[in-house]
Each structure stands twice: as C-alpha cells, then as structure tokens.
A and B are shown apart, each in its own frame.
Chain A
Amino acid sequence: MFRKIAIIGCGMTKFGRHEDKTLTDLMTESSLEAIRDAGIDEKDIGAIYVGNMLAQELNKQTLLATVLADQLALYNVAVDGISNGTASGGSAVRNAFLAVASGFCDIALVTGVEKMRGSPRDKVTDLIATMSHPSEYVQGATLPSLAAMFTRLYMQKYGVERRHLAMVAVKNHSNALKNPYAHIRKAVTLEELLSEDNPKNPVVADPLRLYDCCPMSDGAASLILCSLEEAEKIVDTPIVIAGIGQASDNPVVCEREDPTVLEALRRASQQAFKMAKITPKDIDVAELHDAFTILEIAESEDAGFFKKGTGHKALEEEVTSLDGELPINPSGGLKARGHPVGATGVAQLVELTWQLRGEAEARQVKGAEKAFSCNLGGFASNVLAFVLARGD
C-alpha cells in the first residue's frame, strides 16, 4: 500500500514553565535536538508539520510552521500547521507519516508545541472548553467537569474508588521523578491525596481534586520521520511506526450509548493494532492520555489491555507500574510530565522511541520492543492511536 516509516530522531524541551522562551524558541529547540539526534542536516528535511492548539488566542501567533521553517532556512518545502484540539500533536505525526509514506517527501520534521503558562487560568480553561459540543459549552461545561461526571458514572458502574484515582497520580508522579523532562517532579503519597482537607489538593470538580488533573504546561517535542529503507542506512535503531489509527465519537459525551466507553479510542486502537498485525497482549509499554486520573484507567481498558471495568484492579495489582507487566506512562504521563496540549501527542512518541531504543535511563522498561500510545482530542471525541516497534 505504502512504504514503511520509521522514527530516526527525536527531541523535546523540558516541559513546565518557560517564561523566558517564546513559542519559536521552544519549537526550534526541540526540532534542532531531533535533527541532531537523527544525525541529518536540516537541508534533508522535505516537509514540516507543526501541531498546536492555542497559539492564536494565547500567544497571538499563527503560521507557526512557517516561522519554524524560517528558523531552519527551509523555504522550498511544504510546511503546515495542524490543529486538532488536544490531539493536534498526534494529528501532526499522522500527517507527516502520510507525507513520507506516500513518497511525496523522504524525510519529515514534526513538532508539537504549546505555551500556556502566564495566561489567566480561566481563559485557558475556557479555550480548552471550546472542544466540548457548543450545546454543552454554553452551559459552562469544561473538560474537568466532563471528566468529573464521567468519573462519577465510572465509580457507580465499576466500583472505582477515590483511592484508585490517587494511585494513578502516585504512580505517574513517581515515574516523573525519573524523567528530567517532566514538568512536575514531586513525589506524592496516597495518604496526602486521600485526605479530605489537604489545602494543596482542593476540589476542582467533585469527585476530582487538583491532583486528579494534569497541569497546564509550556513545551515542545519533535520527531524526524523517514522511510524505513532509508532509516536503516542513517541510524542503528530505527523505530518503526507499525500502526496508526484515528477515529471519532459523538462530541456530546452524555449522548453516547454507554457514556463510560471511549468508543473512538476502541476504534482507533483496533485500527492501529490491525495495521501493525499485533494484539494488545504484544505491547510492552504504553503512554496513555491521562489528562485526568480516571482517563488512564478507562483508556487502559478501551485500548484493549484490560477487560472493561477492571483497569483499576490492574492498577491496584501494580501491573501498570514501572516494573509491572505492562508499564503505563513511564514518562509520568500528562499528569506529571505535563500537558502543553499541542506537544503532548508528539512527546508520547518521543518517550516511546527512547523506551524502544533502551535510552530511557532510570525509567527504562526492560527489553521493551513494542509500544502503544493514544492522544485524545476533546473528551475522547477525536482519538489517535499509535503502535511503535523496534526495527528488525
């Protein structure tokens, strides 16, 4: 159908607060790191895709890809901005994949970037809320409020308790301590997260508290994609993008037949596994879109790793811990690595590339050969899924 594609370079900025850096600084930094990592010259790049959601509103900047091309003095190649809500990063990767797989270009640079700190919180919350359906937006629905109502349904239906939500946060914060790129590098304990009157963990939208929600972050992440055939000549360990899936769902979450099922994720991951010709059982490590603690549990089920309603049990049995059978979010996830929205889908694949190359240092999942990620737009109304594999 089309040629196989590999990741030959990756890079990212530290996620967190970057008061002294512009959007351009951030995306240039991660792009240069990816170019250096691949060992190519910027002149080898035949297309640039930049994923971003909020720059027009928060940073008064559009045409980010043009600015990045200018930094690299690449004026004779196609450069595109990709905006698909919080799935912008994943969508940018998919578009770059298509450009190289089709043979339209040989090497593509894909960069996801966002700069959210320094803007008023209620403004950012409102902009993120525009991903909900207009009929829900006018009611004041926000992503945390949708996640809270989803959590309450989950608790009723599957017996998930607050302590399970806290376990996701404890695990991902602990993983992030081993990730120098993570936004939040602070261990938290179950006791402090389950305390009803911890001033550091106020209620955001009951039953969700602050530590159930990912932070708003600044940061950028980049990948260099190349045909596998060429990749083998350039790098020792090309990481193959073995499967990609993308699907959508009714954006009015409450109208979904079973509102506790992330149907778009089911469809996208089934597509990705089918394309990669493997099953969820073959996956050694996964990066899931844990914008809220409950989402890591729900996604671990709907991506196909655990039976519906049992994700919290796998979590409790430490199956998803760094030294478990299927480590989830070794990077710290959105929860602790941070969530510069347009960068997240790319950053997940940067982490998995490091994992599959064996370069993830203290958070390395031993012997990882196959990896999975999912990047959610809206409340899982537009989902991308990826399967990566070590080139052989």
Chain B
Amino acid sequence: MKGFRCEGCGWISTVKRVVCPRCGGKKFQEVYLSGECRLLTFTRLYAVSEGVKDMPLTLGVVEFDNGARVLGQITSEKVSVGMKLRLAWGLLRVVDGKKIYGFKFKPEN
C-alpha cells in the first residue's frame, strides 16, 4: 500500500497532497505500508451503499507502526479494538457498474 511521507515532519498519509496538513511542508517521499497494523476503531455496517455486497460490511481504522492511519474493509466480522491485522487484496465494491479492487485488512493467522 502506497503512502507519502512528509520530509518536513515525517507524517505519513495514503493521500497524495501538495502541502502537508501538519507542518506545511511541500516535499514528500513515497513509502510503502506493509506488515502488521493495529485496529483503532471499527463498525459493522448494516445499511450499505449501492454497489456494496457484504452485509454487514466490517470497516475499521488501523494504525501502522510508522503512525499512518488508514480506513478500510476488514475481511472478518469478529473484530476487537487493538487486534492485529495485515493487508489483503480483493473486490471492494462496484461503482457505476465497474468493479473496484483494492487493499483490505485481514486478521493475523
């Protein structure tokens, strides 16, 4: 998963920006997020959008060791705050008839 590290303050985001929201820096370095991350908060969504198949859809916010926080789908409904997750890949949803694939998170083991 690609991220962008601000050369000024080290803050990492998965969103490409031209100015760092934290320090105003304008230089970014591409980094890759991988390995273990920790679940900060989650929900199991029963009122899903058009184009989303899973019901409920488990969504969560994870934090990587380098501080990057990312929102994503979790492949299991059995989740708890603090649990360890890893990156996975799969179908996220359909938008205007087009299948969108991307990163998700799956429990370790």
* Residues in chain A within 8 A of chain B (CB atoms): 120-123, 125-126, 129, 133, 135-136, 138-142, 144-145, 148-150, 152-153, 156, 202-208, 250, 252-255, 257, 259
Answer whether A250 and B21 are a contact pair too, CB < 8 Å, given A140-B59, A149-B59: yes
Give CA–CA (A152, B54) in the complex, Å.
21
CA distance A152 to B81 in the complex (A): 9
Interface string of B90-109 (1 = CB under 8 A from A): 00110100001010100000
CA A144 to CA B56, docked complex, whole Å:
13
List the B residue with the shortest CB-CB distance to A260: B41
B10 at the interface (CB under 8 A from A): no
> Cβ of A138 and Cβ of B41 under 8 Å apart?
no
Tell whether, in the assembled complex, residue A152 and residue B93 are in contact, meaning their CB atoms are under 8 Å apart. Answer: no
- Contact A140 B43, beta carbon cutoff 8 Å: no
In the assembled complex, how far is the CB of residue B86 from the closest CB belonging to chain A, in whole angstroms? 16
A139-B104, A254-B70 known, 10 other contacts, Cβ within 8 Å: A125-B49, A126-B49, A139-B93, A140-B52, A142-B47, A145-B57, A145-B59, A149-B41, A206-B44, A252-B71
Select one of B13, B21, B69, B93 contacting A140, CB under 8 A.
Answer: B93
Smallest beta-carbon distance A212→chain B, Å: 12
Chain B minimum-CB-distance residue to A257: B22
CB nearest to B43 among chain A residues:
A148
Are B46 and A138 interface neighbours, CB within 8 A?
no
Shortest beta-carbon contacts, A-B, top 7: A148-B43, A126-B49, A254-B61, A126-B50, A140-B52, A149-B41, A205-B43
Residues in B with CB closer than 8 Å to A254 are 40, 61, 69-71
- Whether B31 sits at the interface, judged by CB under 8 Å, is no
Query: Which of B48, B60, B104 is the one whose CB lies under 8 Å from A149?
Result: B60
User: What is the bound-complex CA distance between A133 and B13, given in angstroms?
Assistant: 13
Contacts of B102 in A (CB 8 A): 138-139
Cα–Cα, bound, A133→B17 (Å) = 13
Find the A residue at minimum CB distance from B52: A140
Most A CB contacts (10 A, CB to CB) among B42, B50, B60, B100 go to: B50
C-alpha spacing A139/B57, complex, angstroms:
10
**Contact among B13, B41, B95 for A252, CB-based, below 8 A:** B13
Residues in chain A near residue B47, CB distance under 8 A: 121-122, 125, 142, 144, 204-205
Interface centre among B15, B71, B73, B92 (most CB of A within 10 A): B71
From residue B27, how far is it (CB to closest CB) to chain A in Å?
A: 19
Q: Are A139 and B71 in contact (CB under 8 A)?
A: yes
**Could you write out 22 A-B pairs with CB less than 8 Å apart?**
A122-B50, A123-B50, A133-B15, A138-B100, A139-B92, A139-B102, A139-B104, A140-B92, A142-B47, A149-B59, A149-B61, A152-B43, A156-B41, A204-B45, A205-B43, A205-B46, A205-B47, A252-B15, A254-B61, A254-B69, A255-B13, A255-B15
Q: Is the CB of B49 within 8 A of A140?
A: yes
Chain B: minimal CB distance from A294 (Å)? 12
Note all chain B residues with C-beta closer than 8 A to A153. Answer: 40-41
Q: How far is the CB of A293 from chain B (nearest CB, A)?
A: 15
The chain B residue with its CB closest to the CB of A155 is B41
Given A140-B48, A152-B81: A135 in contact with B41 (beta carbons within 8 A) = no
Q: Could you say which of A156, A203, A208, A254 has the most chain B C-beta atoms within 10 Å of its C-beta?
A: A254
